[in-house]
Amino acid sequence: MLQFVRSKQKSVLIKIAFGIIILSFIIGYTMLTSPADQRAKQGRETAALVNGNEITYDAFQNSYSNLYNLYQNIYQEKFDAKLEKQLNLPQQAMRQLIDETLLIQQAEKLNLDVTDEEVVDSIAQYDAFQIDGKFNRDRYLEVLNYQRMKPEQFEASQQRRILIQKVRNKLQQGVTISDAELAAAFHRENDKINLNYVWLTPELVKSKVKVTDAGLKKFFEQNLEKFRIPEKVSLRYLRFDPTRYENEVGTLTDEELQHYYRRNLDQFEIMEQVKAAHILLSVPEGADNVAIQEKHDLADKLLKQLQDGADFTQLAKTYSDDKSNAANGGELGTFGRGIMVKEFEDAAFALRPGQLSDVVQTPFGFHIIKVEEYTEPGVKPLNDVIDKVKAGLALEKAHQIAYEKAMDAYNINRKTGNLETAATANDLEIKESRLFSVNDAIDGIGRVPEINQVAFTLKENQLARPIQTTQGVFLFTLKERQPSHLPELDKVKSMVEQLYRIEQAQTLAKKLADQLLKQATEKKSLRSAAQDLKLAVEETGEFSRSSGFFIPHIGTAQKLAEAAFSLTKDTPIANEVFTINDKFLVASLKDAKTADFEAMENTDREQLKNRLLAEKKQQIVAEKLKQLVEHAEIEIMVPELSGHLTSGGSKS
């Protein structure tokens, strides 16, 4: 929603609404932190008890919704069910509420409270409540009314928010960063090392693998389960195709069309676009300052000519270095945001038809841009897309009819499991699939996880409940079941040999890595040992601890990253073989550079100190909350969270 609104901010009405939408995140927080007695009518069920204090299920739902919207806005199209699960949003939401409740409880022990004046001052700071930079009570009431919230609810939440911050501030009092801590952080982020390393890969030694019948037989017998043939099933099915039932949809009412249109506004979005032409004066890679300035001066000269009335098309044909469009007067056609480089895009979308840009510098050189047409973002009116809306709604209703017919067939025949009767009644042809395993695509149906999952639970003569897909609705029953079984060697010999070669190459690569490490340690030189074994030595280039576990040219390697900075000139060889993505690596220190802390600029020193102080303060609060959770009586009533949030006295 935020992304959709962001692209429409040029609309005056949406600009006003945008501030309200941003505030809705605050309102959402308000709804979940309002005192229980004010919210009793909205959610009576208890989600958790923290030392006897109630967290309502309604509060938990709002907390989860706010986090969901936040991450959806951050990740946008990348935010899917898998990422949502990885982020553990329900646990995050409940943990946030528990932490806030514990901090509120601490406020009483610390004799902290909030004055009415502090609440008033905090509310006055919100832009959404201001007109011309000043708090406006009418706007305040208007915004709250739009969100269906009473002022006393919002003010109570503000008091709670301020109180929590006061507790945080109290816990963080007296926190400082010592010179030793500052120096340690500086060296952690700025000291650099360069490593030599050698990869020992199965590919390097695969030609040395010898395959024998006896070896394959032994490998097969030791790894029988790796070659187990999984359980397989085949299906008989009917497909209820929605397009068959479009003539049964009937008349579409205006109300239904309006409702479909509003539910699918994103389908009718008008993207912001410009139609533009440009003159490019390219700057060769590696050009010196004199050459760059000459190009800039020429661009200034051409811009002046254009401003004095010169023909853009003719100048583009004569001077533009963009050969793909110079002959057409520099025409780029119509494009939206995200197509051109940022500098070019910003300049082009700031122009309106007939306007010229100033000279714009991009990695390609210097541009002069002329915009010929501009399409403002928005949404197409219903009248302009009525045919598309009718078609979409008709198909949606046809899907529903198809599902209802499939459900009727299921309910009539589920006791007998007779698919033939269902096929005859609906004038459909029964189709059959080949055998497939639980993760295979089903021929004629495709990869539909829900169908795969249900298929393997079916019993003989049992109809599965209809399942909707993009292809239609499927009603199906079991045709054949092939149990999981262990095969004979000759049936899977090629697969056995393939895995045997991989395993043997892996073993040989590890032996070679161990040999290299032993010789390098004895010689105190990885390069010398590698030369003896005719192995290639590579180097990472300089990197610091601030790279985390990422090492240039190697990738993410936690163990190596942790060991690397303990290497010295006296002990340059890392004392183990590192396994990274099924490959082996031996590493040694090539060079180490210690950064000069004393030469650090005062401004940089102050910035580092402030950052460390903020991190330390956060850590203080986190540690205090950990202690409070460990000693708190916490009872979780939300089933899906039971066992995920634990404490010293927790219950579930």
List, for residues 1-58, the tens digit of each pLDDT value. Answer: 333 333 333 333 333 333 443 444 444 444 444 444 444 434 458 899 999 999 998 8
| Tokens 């912001």 belong to residue | 272
Domain ranges within the chain, ordered by starting residue:
2-173+634-641, 192-221+494-593, 232-245+397-482, 273-375
Q: Tell me the per-residue pLDDT of 385-412, one tens digit each, with 9 for 90 and over.
A: 999 999 999 999 999 999 999 999 999 9
Rounded Cα–Cα distance for residues 642 and 47 (Å): 11
484-491 average pLDDT score:
94
What confidence score (pLDDT) does residue 651 get?
Answer: 53
Q: How far is CA 129 from CA 27, 162, 239, 612, in A?
A: 13, 18, 56, 35
Orientation angle between helical segments 254-263 and 386-413, nearest 10 degrees: 100
CA-based nearest residue to 587, from 527, 632, 500: 527
pLDDT of residue 249 exceeding 60 = yes
pLDDT of residue 491 exceeding 60 = yes
Residues 6+ apart with CB under 8 A from 470: none
Rounded Cα–Cα distance for residues 226 and 500 (Å): 11
Residue at 122: amino acid letter: S
Q: Tell me the CATH number of domain 232-245+397-482, given options 1.10.150.120, 3.10.50.40, 3.40.640.10, 3.30.70.360.
A: 3.10.50.40
Bridge partners, residue 543, by sequence = 193
Question: Any idea what DSSP says for residue 352?
Answer: -
| Tokens 């000759």 belong to residue | 490
CB–CB of 123/158 below 8 Å? yes
Q: Residue 557: how many CB atoms within 10 A of its CB?
A: 20
pLDDT of residue 471 exceeding 80 = yes
CB–CB of 380/268 below 8 Å? yes
Instruction: Kindly state the tokens that stand for 328.
Output: 């057409």
Instruction: Kindly state the tokens that stand for 478.
Output: 């079991």
Rounded Cα–Cα distance for residues 373 and 332 (Å): 12
Mean pLDDT of the chain: 89
- For β-strands 192-200 and 543-544, DSSP reports them as antiparallel
CA-based nearest residue to 529, from 512, 541, 507, 542: 512
Which CATH fold topology does 273-375 show?
Chitinase A; domain 3 (3.10.50)
Q: CATH second-level architecture of 2-173+634-641?
A: Orthogonal Bundle (1.10)
What confidence score (pLDDT) does residue 649 get?
Answer: 52
Same fold, 232-245+397-482 and 273-375: yes
pLDDT of residue 67 exceeding 50 = yes
- For β-strands 192-200 and 583-593, DSSP reports them as antiparallel
What confidence score (pLDDT) does residue 547 get?
Answer: 84
CB–CB of 532/519 below 8 Å? yes
Can you list the positions of beta strands (E) in 496-633? 538-539, 543-544, 550-551, 555-556, 578-580, 583-593
Q: What is the pTM of this model?
A: 0.53
Q: What percent of the chain stands above pLDDT 90?
A: 76
Q: Tell me the per-residue pLDDT of 217-246, one tens digit each, with 9 for 90 and over.
A: 999 999 999 999 999 999 999 999 999 999
